[in-house]
Amino acid sequence: MQSIMDVLQAILAELRKSRPSPEREILDVHQAAEYLGQSEYTVREWVRMRKIPFNRVNGAIKFRRSRLETWIDRGEVKSRQ
């Protein structure tokens, strides 16, 4: 029983190493559009208008998932009761 637990812990450790943490995860335009539920065109327009946080890496538009989450949270509006 202990050897099964050891194997499972080793697999879990490998999975954690191979997958970037969510706050460091980098998305391209397609992935950001899917994440935000928008078209790639809309995301590119937001970039052009500087409405969304992004970076350029060797000319390519990139997004950090954690910054997109913060951007979404800042746009939150309280509903009327």
* pLDDT reported for residue 54: 96
Element (H, E) at 57: strand 55-57
Q: pLDDT tens digits, residue range 6-15?
A: 877 777 777 6
Domain ranges for the chain, please list them: 21-81
| Residue 23 DSSP class | G
Instruction: Supply 30's token pair.
Output: 């397609």
Q: Is the pLDDT of residue 32 over 70?
A: yes
The DSSP bridge partners found for residue 65 are none
Chain centroid offset of residue 59 CA: 19
Inform me whether the pLDDT recorded for 22 exceeds 70: no
* Best CA proximity match to 53, nearest among 75, 34, 76: 75
Averaged pLDDT, 68-80: 81
CATH top-level class of 21-81 = mainly alpha
CA distance 38 to 27: 14
pLDDT over threshold 90, residue 29 = yes
